[in-house]
Structure 1
Amino acid sequence: MKKSLVAVGVIVALGVAWTGSAWYTGKQLEGRMAEMIARANAELNKASPEAGLTLGYQDYHRGLFHSTMQLVIKPNAGVTSALLKPDQSIVFNETIDHGPFPFAQLKKFNLLPSMASVHTTLVNNPTTKPLFDIAKGQSFIDAQTRIGYSGDTSSDISLLPLNYENGEQKVAFSGGEFRADVDGQGDKIAVSGEAQSGLVNTVNEYGQHVQMTFNGIKTEGNSARSEFIERIGSQKAAIEKLAIAIEGQQMAVFEGFNIHAKSELQEDKKHLSGQIDYTLDSLKVQNKDIGSGKLTLKVGNLDGAAVHAFSQKYQAESQKLLADPALMQDPEAYQQRIVELFVANLPLLLKGDPVITVAPLSWKNAQGESSFNLSLLLKDPAQAAGEATTPEEQLNRVVKSLDSKLVIPMAMATELMTQIAQLEGYQPAEAAKLADQQIKGLAAMGQMFRVTTMENNNVVSSLQYSNGQVTLNGQKMPLSDLLGMFGMPGIGQPEIAPAPELETPVVPVIPQQ
């Protein structure tokens, strides 16, 4: 009997403790809500200022074990957002289970104490109604977020499958699963997820039936806040297959497309470096195998303080552009002003004498692989003395050295042009003949103007530059001679050596339909 009373007493005590803890954590969460929203808006403004969006909350109702509220995304006052019009908004319903052991968390057998567990769904309003229509009246987004006492969050985000048909229009989507983890200070973020497949059928402006399908989209990445730029880290994205068809005829198929971008602090903790890799395993156009390609682009030795100054100025000026209603009504003028803004502040990025490397840019088919490699060492023009009055002096102010090389196998180029000629309607034999003539003619022109040479049946071009001296395909010359070869205004034309003799003189042939 005593044991039974003790057990009952323990259960009652635990129930009282649970109730008190749930009430306390619910109240604590309410007190921190404004801080969390402000932090989210700061992140949104830094990551995508051109979006012109702000996050808010409304209708907060706190209960003993559960609370409810709504998160609202809407355009900034006075800004016509590219995503939302002034009268539009996106609203999410938030159901909050209070800690220390939220019920939603217990259902997943997660016994770690936490402040709350939040269930998020999309609200059906005039802005989101089209999405609800193709999701058969359900919320397309369903997310469950665990909020720790330190403020860290872990979100499991589900995108529901879609299957919608309306006349000649069709949308199908397998759904997707994504995960996002953010630490309490918002300094570290990790995102990963995948979606298996999707299909869109529609009719274009010419009345043609267009179908786009994809398979195997994946993403994975992490980032951390930096004192110089907003974030550094690594991000990967991949798609197994993307196909486009018009009127039932396959137009293009991309397979094995991958992007990997990363940025980091260098050893001195004052400079930044970054790298982005693109790879495409296969491209087919109208069932013709066009080949595969890759690009690796690296940027190093960026002065961190200068990058930060560039970022601050660029964001401040771009915000002013977004606040101009007339400019927001003219997308072309807005894009022009953005480009001008970037160019005007570009000298800031040269402060650390950055290095740009392309190693390589290449394209490969059954007959070989063409490649282009580049190493460009830049320098801070602000360190130069006096005023630049000649092209040599102007280039010398920003370029320390350049080294580049282009290699194109004749067989590879001929195969590529043969495929292109067939796409234009030529029969295989005729296409091969025209491609052979065209590539030989272009190679001859390159030699005639000393832009390229022939090495082992490869078209080759190399260019080096340093201290006003140019070396083109092994021949040294002043920069003025190089500019003169391309007819630059005000530059004298150098004497051009005669073209090398060819076994069979040819001229370029441009295939015509």
Structure 2
Amino acid sequence: MDYDRMKKSLVAVGVIVALGVVWTGTAWYTGKQLEGRMAEMISNANTELNKASPEAGLTLGYQDYHRGLFSSTMHLVIKPTAGMTSAILKPDQTIVFNETIDHGPFPFAQLKKFNLLPSMASVHTTLMNNPTTKPLFDIAKGQSFIDAQTRIGYSGDTSSDINLLPLNYENGEQKVAFSGGEFKADVDGQGDKIAVSGEAQSGLVNTVNEYGQHVQITFNGIKTEGNSTRSEFIERIGSQKASIDKLAISIEGKEMAVVEGFNINAKSELQEDKKHLSGQIDYALNSLKVQNKDMGSGKLTLKVGNLDGAAVREFSQKYNAESQKLLADPAFSQNPEAYQQQIVELFAANLPLLLKGDPVITVAPLSWKNAKGESSFNLSLFLKDPAQSTGEPKTPEEQLNRVVKSLDSKLVIPVDMATELMTQVAQLEGYQPAEAAKLAEQQIKGLAAMGQMFRVTTMEDNNVVSSLQYSNGQVTLNGQKMALGDLLGMFGMPTMGEPEAAPVPEPETPAVPEAPAVPQQ
């Protein structure tokens, strides 16, 4: 009996020793394997960073790699790209992360969370305190503001839990408070699929502006969620949501503006033919208050479809290459206004590429709503590739027909809604409620009368309405058909290749009662 027990004990000890040898050998191997792949991983990360944000002018690197038996350490370094001016860091600045890597197959940090899935490594990331990041450490009471734990699978997949620590800092009249935040990022081994989500509960900033006024900014409930996949034509397609429950701005203790329920929902995808792209972005604002005046709520849905994928890729490549050249040129990188002008010209020069495939743009709708009604604007614009046209355009119709297949738009503004909005605006300017209402009514009536006089708008059921359709050189404005040249002539615009029309006498402006005087403040 004692012999049997001793035999079983020796077997148990042998198993434990064998497991220890296997664990040690595997941990050493995976640590070495990770070190061998580090350069490749950093290179891939720089490629992604350069594609996603070339204007940032940043490069990722690593240094001080020390491999141990069960764990390794290194520093991850973000610095300005050589020969480029970074929009974030100065030439002598760096952001350094401390990386502690627990080797697999069962990293200790992972076991602490009862995650028993084998993995190559688990990486703990914190921010290093250096001259660049010292201000952040000061308001975080000497702690790293960022604390992240990343699991690296043998396939190269990564899953990161990123914590932003709470902040509470006061220095005289300046104050920063932040609840902290939790974010999660998952990336597959090839970097093709990325999913990001997270939220931060609240934050506050007290400061003094250039006029010596005390300014306070607060926010509540920031959330984000999205996923993307690498695309053949553009860098990524997918969806992204972002929202904020409340954002408030106060000056000298007086609430100036409050935004509630702001949401953005964007998505892009390949169409069924796998050659064209489409995208949609939705904006929604549940409430806007300015100095306690309810200004209303709004929404916008913008869609773009039938973008030629190959043309979009060519546009992206040219735009990114040229923008990087501009950033590398001190004449532009050190002159924001000149740089912005060049970027606009660069975009305009390559815009014809985006017209390949005959894209479609729709706005359905752009609207603003208050207690008295809702105004709306809808647009459907079918474009076409100007490269398919031959010869030089000689008339406005020919010029427009090169790029526009058809247009259909409609604007509806309820008079009561517009009057209510302008009443609120007048009160913000200092008018008393009765005076503000009277002034707003006069303004809206005057504008409606002027719109009808110039035949730009009509009145329907107490709504100011304007509709415009265009196709094949034919315009329909508020139900009246006319040539494009006639429409341009209504606004005194000359036509191409044709003598300018004789000036049309300006109609008399409708008489508007004199507005109440602005009260002295």
Paired with 1:461 and 1:158, the residues of 2 have a C-alpha distance of 52
Q: Letter of the aligned partner of 2:47 in structure 1?
A: A
* Residue 467, structure 1, aligned to residue 472, structure 2: yes
CA 1:210–1:317: 2 relative to 1, 3 Å: same
Q: Cα offset for 1:507?
A: 2.6
Among 444, 465, 488, which residue is 1:439 paired with? Answer: 444
Among 296, 314, 319, which residue is 2:319 paired with? Answer: 314
CA 1:374–1:95: 2 relative to 1, 3 Å: same
Q: Deviations over 1:304-358 (max 9, x none)?
A: 0000000000011011101101211100000000010000000000001000000
Q: Deviations over 1:389-435 (max 9, x none)?
A: 22211111000000000000000000000000000000000000000
Among 181, 189, 195, which residue is 1:190 paired with? Answer: 195
Paired with 1:267 and 1:495, the residues of 2 have a C-alpha distance of 52
Q: Letter of the aligned partner of 1:53 in structure 2?
A: L
Q: Cα offset for 1:489?
A: 3.4
Q: Cα offset for 1:509?
A: 6.3
User: Partner residue of 1:106?
Assistant: 111
Secondary structure of 1:507 counterpart: coil
User: Partner residue of 1:345?
Assistant: 350
**8 Å contact from structure 2 (residues 208, 215) kept in 1:** yes
CA 1:511–1:217: 2 relative to 1, 3 Å: farther
**8 Å contact from structure 2 (residues 435, 516) kept in 1:** no
* Residue 59, structure 1, aligned to residue 68, structure 2: no
User: Partner residue of 1:407?
Assistant: 412
Q: Cα offset for 1:498?
A: 8.6
User: Partner residue of 1:492?
Assistant: 501
Paired with 2:371 and 2:505, the residues of 1 have a C-alpha distance of 36
CA 1:312–1:508: 2 relative to 1, 3 Å: farther
Q: Deviations over 1:242-261 (max 9, x none)?
A: 00000000000000000000
Aligned pairs for 1:189-338 (under 5 A) are: 189-338=194-343
Paired with 1:508 and 1:267, the residues of 2 have a C-alpha distance of 59
User: Partner residue of 1:122?
Assistant: 127
Paired with 2:242 and 2:267, the residues of 1 have a C-alpha distance of 12
Q: Letter of the aligned partner of 2:22 in structure 1?
A: A
Paired with 2:186 and 2:514, the residues of 1 have a C-alpha distance of 58
Q: Letter of the aligned partner of 1:420 in structure 2?
A: V
CA 1:331–1:408: 2 relative to 1, 3 Å: same
Secondary structure of 2:273 counterpart: coil
Among 368, 383, 386, which residue is 1:381 paired with? Answer: 386
Q: Deviations over 1:210-241 (max 9, x none)?
A: 00000000000000000000000000000000
Q: Deviations over 1:447-496 (max 9, x none)?
A: 00000000000000000000001000000011011111111135426979
Q: Deviations over 1:104-146 (max 9, x none)?
A: 0000000000000000000000100000000000000000000
Q: Deviations over 1:3-26 (max 9, x none)?
A: 100000000000000000000000
Paired with 1:52 and 1:508, the residues of 2 have a C-alpha distance of 58
- Tell me the TM-score normalised to structure 1 length: 0.97
**8 Å contact from structure 1 (residues 202, 211) kept in 2:** yes
Secondary structure of 1:395 counterpart: helix
**8 Å contact from structure 2 (residues 375, 417) kept in 1:** yes
CA 1:509–1:415: 2 relative to 1, 3 Å: farther
Paired with 1:4 and 1:275, the residues of 2 have a C-alpha distance of 67
User: Partner residue of 2:34?
Assistant: 29
Paired with 2:24 and 2:412, the residues of 1 have a C-alpha distance of 73
- Tell me the TM-score normalised to structure 2 length: 0.96
Unaligned segments of structure 2, at least 5 residues: 1-5
**8 Å contact from structure 1 (residues 481, 493) kept in 2:** no
CA 1:40–1:512: 2 relative to 1, 3 Å: farther
Paired with 1:273 and 1:84, the residues of 2 have a C-alpha distance of 35
CA 1:206–1:219: 2 relative to 1, 3 Å: same
Q: Letter of the aligned partner of 1:20 in structure 2?
A: G
User: Partner residue of 2:102?
Assistant: 97
Runs of 4+ in 1 over 4 A off after TM superposition: 493-499, 508-512
* Residue 165, structure 1, aligned to residue 170, structure 2: yes
Paired with 1:273 and 1:51, the residues of 2 have a C-alpha distance of 27
Paired with 1:454 and 1:496, the residues of 2 have a C-alpha distance of 24
Paired with 1:509 and 1:306, the residues of 2 have a C-alpha distance of 56
Q: Letter of the aligned partner of 1:41 in structure 2?
A: N
RMSD of aligned C-alpha atoms?
Answer: 1.5
Q: Cα offset for 1:436?
A: 0.2
% of aligned pairs identical? Answer: 88
User: Partner residue of 2:23?
Assistant: 18
Among 137, 148, 162, which residue is 2:142 paired with? Answer: 137
**8 Å contact from structure 1 (residues 487, 493) kept in 2:** no
Paired with 1:322 and 1:330, the residues of 2 have a C-alpha distance of 10
Q: Deviations over 1:47-84 (max 9, x none)?
A: 00000000000000000000000000000112121100
Q: Cα offset for 1:156?
A: 0.1
